[in-house]
Structures are given as structure tokens and as C-alpha cells.
Amino acid sequence: MIITFCGQKGGTGKTTLSFLVAETLSRVGKKVAVRDDDPQASISQIVTELRDAGRTEIEIWDRNRAGEYDFVIVDTLPRLSSNVLIEAVKEADILILPLKPSMVDIRATLPAVEMVKENTRPGGKAFVLWNMVKPGTRISRELQGLEGMLGMQVLKNSIPERIGFTYATLQGYEAITGEDRELLQRLVLEFVA
């Protein structure tokens, strides 16, 4: 199964969430590879460093072993006109658009929502995922109401802003609290079901 993180903007959490979802699936015994469709190659760097330190079993995607993986997690570049991105969207079983809950970000993401809707393959699914939600803020309580503006299904599990998620890309799963690990498991179950 191919799970692809995409969007038009940088800084919404595509790379961080690619890693967190890959690690969550790996920790329940799945064979997981990450594929980098972003020339910055951030996810490859994160996984290579953690693998060298013995902190993860996630693999770097290898075309010759494509049939062996239970899950391929694809991190993409934030450029809508890119053919690499369009091909990645067409190929995905599950597409996830991480989005920060701010009006600026929501408006800026509407073209990406359209592009994803146009290119999702038959049988493929696409979701918006709220990321970096600040607990207790008014906008965090209004997220469900914002769903209508987006015209795309929004995942019920949202991801809070946590320093542990930033550290996880350096230190691996150790940096994530038990509570946040459970949240990530619920999130994954919500879209992999």
C-alpha cells in the first residue's frame, strides 16, 4: 500500500508526518519503506541517520524490492506543477494533505486540494490532516466547521504541536510519549482501515 504525503506549501509537516506514520507502522511489525520524491531528500536523511544509529527499522525504498514492502510512505515536494508530484498522486492508495489550522494556510491549500481530487486514482482515498494544532485555542475547536471550506474529507484524529514530534526526526521513536504514540496509532487506523 502506498501512502503519500503531499501539499502545495512547505512547512506543513509532510516530512515529519511521513516519518511518524512510517515509524508507527514499522513498530507494529509491518515492513515499511520511505520513498523520497522531494529533491531535498529530508526523509531519506532522517531514516538513514536513524538506521545507522540502530533506532529504526524503516527502509529506504528500493525499486528492485518494491514487492516486499507492506507500506511505502512517499514524501513529496511542495510544487503543484511538478510531474513528479502529479505522478505520485496518481499512484497513491492513500493521499494525505497535512494542513495547519490557519486561514492563510487553508486558503493557500485549495489549489492542492483540487489537484489531488483530479488525480486521485479510482479506489484511492484522499484526506486532509490537521497538523500543529495548538490545544485549547479557539481555532482548534472550530476545525470540524472548516471541513466544508476544503471540500475534502478531514481525518478526525488531528496532530497537536509537540516538541517531541520535532525531536523524533532526530532521535526516533524514543522522543514520543506514550500518549502521542497511541494518538499516532489511532490516526493510522483511521486511514489504513
Ligand X SMILES: Nc1ncnc2c1ncn2[C@@H]1O[C@H](COP(=O)(O)OP(=O)(O)O)[C@@H](O)[C@H]1O
| Residues in contact with Mg ion by the rule CB under 5 A | 14-15, 42
Q: Which residues from 112-131 bind ligand X, rule CB under 6 A?
A: 131
Instruction: Find which of Mg ion, ligand X, none residue 48 binds, CB within 5 to 8 Å per kind.
Output: none
Q: How many residues bind ligand X (CB under 6 A)?
A: 14
Largest Cα span, the chain: 49
Question: Taking a C-beta distance cutoff of 8 angstroms, is the pair 69, 93 a contact?
Answer: no
Q: Residues of 109-129 as b/e, b for ≥16 C-beta within 10 angstroms?
A: beebbebbeebbeeebebbbb
Question: Taking a C-beta distance cutoff of 8 angstroms, is the pair 126, 154 a contact?
Answer: no
Instruction: Find which of Mg ion, ligand X, none residue 159 binds, CB within 5 to 8 Å per kind.
Output: ligand X
Q: Which residues from 4-33 bind ligand X, rule CB under 6 A?
A: 10-16
Quick one: 31 or 49, whose CB is closer to ligand X? Answer: 49
Q: What is the C-alpha to C-alpha distance for residues 119 and 20, in angstroms, rounded to an integer?
A: 25
Residue with cell 484522499: 126
Quick one: 57 or 161, whose CB is closer to ligand X? Answer: 161
Closest CB to Mg ion belongs to which residue? 15
Minimum CB distance to ligand X, residue 37 (Å): 12
Q: Compute the CA torsion angle 28, 32, 38, 40 (nearest 10 deg).
A: 80
Q: Residue 5 in 3-state DSSP? A: strand
Quick one: 132 or 187, whose CB is closer to ligand X? Answer: 132
Of 114, 110, 79, 75, give the one whose Cα is nearest residue 96: 75
Minimum CB distance to ligand X, residue 122 (Å): 27
2-5 and 94-99 beta bridge pairing? parallel
Q: Which residues from 137-166 bind ligand X, rule CB under 6 A?
A: 159, 161-162, 165-166
Question: Which triple of cell numbers denotes residue 31?
Answer: 515492513
Instruction: Find which of Mg ion, ligand X, none residue 119 binds, CB within 5 to 8 Å per kind.
Output: none
Instruction: Find which of Mg ion, ligand X, none residue 161 binds, CB within 5 to 8 Å per kind.
Output: ligand X
- Contact residues toward ligand X (CB under 6 A) are 10-16, 131-132, 159, 161-162, 165-166
